[in-house]
């Protein structure tokens, strides 16, 4: 079999122009050829060549409108959606592309059905600590829509930071979202610093320096004494009192 013939770029342009003219003069033939070719699987090598050949080409507004109209009502198969997702997975868009996408969506409101589908698809998903840190940094300070010139006190800002929220979440998870003093669940809880926030800044985000308490028990705890043994002593006293209270109730019932 002979070597495959290669055309020069100028010759390729001439062929393309001739075919375009032919299609414009006889659109029915162009449509028939499209129907014949539909469903054929093109090799990976051919797809790469087609991709390189079309790289840099931009559709005219008329072509974009034709593509949009042709795609209306068409539902993609799950396999097609997965292939498309796999092809774009890991790719990063340039800042210019992201800006264009943002501007193109400004003022547009998604229908309620679409928003429900998006909500259902994200159920159970939890962003990684790295992603949450990126989101936090993107909305930090003057970047936030609620920015009022930096009037929030430093202490409030630190207590509501991503690091503090993550610390509280880990303390709650370790204690099974249960008050460690009275054992109640399903009530309002706080993550209490065993060694106080203001006195031990280096221990503010240490998990072992936290304990889960319900709001009622949290009011009983000393908030300024740095002595850990005193805090744990209060926990034991409250637990003993609750045990005695429960025992008295049982005795009365019998």
Query: pLDDT tens digits, residue range 147-194?
Result: 877 777 888 888 888 899 999 999 999 888 988 888 888 899 999 888
Beta bridge partners of 191: 212
Quote the pLDDT of residue 108.
Answer: 84
More confident: 220 or 77: 77
The yes-or-no verdict on residue 90 having pLDDT over 70 is: yes
187's CB contacts (< 8 A; 6+ apart) are 179, 214, 215
Contact 231, 225 (CB under 8 A): yes
- Phi/psi of residue 62, each to 5°? -65, -40
Closest CA to 175 of 126, 218, 202, 208: 208
pTM for the whole structure: 0.41
The band of 254, judged by pLDDT with boundaries at 50, 70 and 90, is low
pLDDT in tens, 6-18: 778 788 788 888 8
Quote the pLDDT of residue 191.
Answer: 92
Percent residues over pLDDT 90 in the chain: 8
Quote the pLDDT of residue 224.
Answer: 45
More confident: 245 or 83: 83
The band of 44, judged by pLDDT with boundaries at 50, 70 and 90, is confident
The band of 244, judged by pLDDT with boundaries at 50, 70 and 90, is low
177's CB contacts (< 8 A; 6+ apart) are 185, 189, 212
Q: Rounded CA gap, 167 and 133, in Å?
A: 14
């Amino acid at each position: 079999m002979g070597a495959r013939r290669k055309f020069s770029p100028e010759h390729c342009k001439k062929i393309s122009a001739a075919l375009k003219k032919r299609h414009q003069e006889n659109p029915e033939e162009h449509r028939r050829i499209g129907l014949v070719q539909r469903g054929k699987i093109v090799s990976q090598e051919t797809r790469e060549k087609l991709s390189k050949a079309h790289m840099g080409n931009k559709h005219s507004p008329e072509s974009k409108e034709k593509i949009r109209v042709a795609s209306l009502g068409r539902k993609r198969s799950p396999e097609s959606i997965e292939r498309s997702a796999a092809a774009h997975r890991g790719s990063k868009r340039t800042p210019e592309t992201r800006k264009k996408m943002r501007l193109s969506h400004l003022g547009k409101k998604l229908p309620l059905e679409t928003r429900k589908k998006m909500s259902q698809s994200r159920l159970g998903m939890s962003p990684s600590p790295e992603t949450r840190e990126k989101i936090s940094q993107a909305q930090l300070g003057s970047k936030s829509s609620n920015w009022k010139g930096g009037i929030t006190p430093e202490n409030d800002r630190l207590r509501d930071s991503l690091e503090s929220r993550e610390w509280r979440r880990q303390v709650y998870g370790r204690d099974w979202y249960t008050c460690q003093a009275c054992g109640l669940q399903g009530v309002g809880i706080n993550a209490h610093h065993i060694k106080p926030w203001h006195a031990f800044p280096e221990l503010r985000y240490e998990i072992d320096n936290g304990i889960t308490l319900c709001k009622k028990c949290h009011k009983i705890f000393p908030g300024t004494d740095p002595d850990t043994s005193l805090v744990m002593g209060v926990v034991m006293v409250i637990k003993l009192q609750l045990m005695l209270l429960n025992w008295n109730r049982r005795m009365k019932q019998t």
